[in-house]
Structure 1
């Protein structure tokens, strides 16, 4: 099995869903978008939190892939050339 996004995504999904406390902050948002969101009943704090959480998750993933790119490339080449380690004992 090649190393891919599935293992990484699960690892960081678990971290990003941890319960955390809230902290008040000041934001500058586009007035037109803010007005429309309010008129639609969108919870601004929740929307910003969810969006920022997703941006953080993606940036962590990007940096992780960048940091381990050489290892992943070498490992995947080995798997392609030699097969999956311990494949003879796999039952699936």
Structure 2
């Protein structure tokens, strides 16, 4: 993790899961932060795909109609 500003927070976790994580020596704060980071990245990607769906569809239609740009220069 990078050395960024931290903010204390409170959260509720399943007791058995928390106990097992502690048994394994898992850093709960780091694991939670990694999980939130993963969820944020997935949501960013989902929103990007949603926001750019029209442009992607237009580009794919162009490729189907006109072919790949500069295809004549491809070596494969």
Instruction: Return the TM-score normalized by structure 1.
Output: 0.71
C-alpha separation in 2, matches of 1:72 and 1:22: 38
What's the Cα RMSD here?
1.8
Which residue in the other structure is 1:55 paired with? 39
- Give the number of the structure with larger relative contact order, counting CA–CA contacts within 8 Å between residues 6 or more apart: 1
1:68 aligns with 2:68: no
Deviation at 1:70, TM superposition (A): 1.0
Helix, strand or coil for the counterpart of 1:60?
helix
Provide structure 1 residue ranges, at least 5 long, that are not aligned to the other structure.
Answer: 1-16
Output the CA distance in 2 between the equivalents of 1:87 and 1:22.
50
How much does 1:71 deviate? 0.9
The number of aligned residues is: 75
Tell me, in whole angstroms, the C-alpha distance in 2 between the residues paired with 1:23 and 1:86. Answer: 51
Unaligned runs of 5+ in 2: none
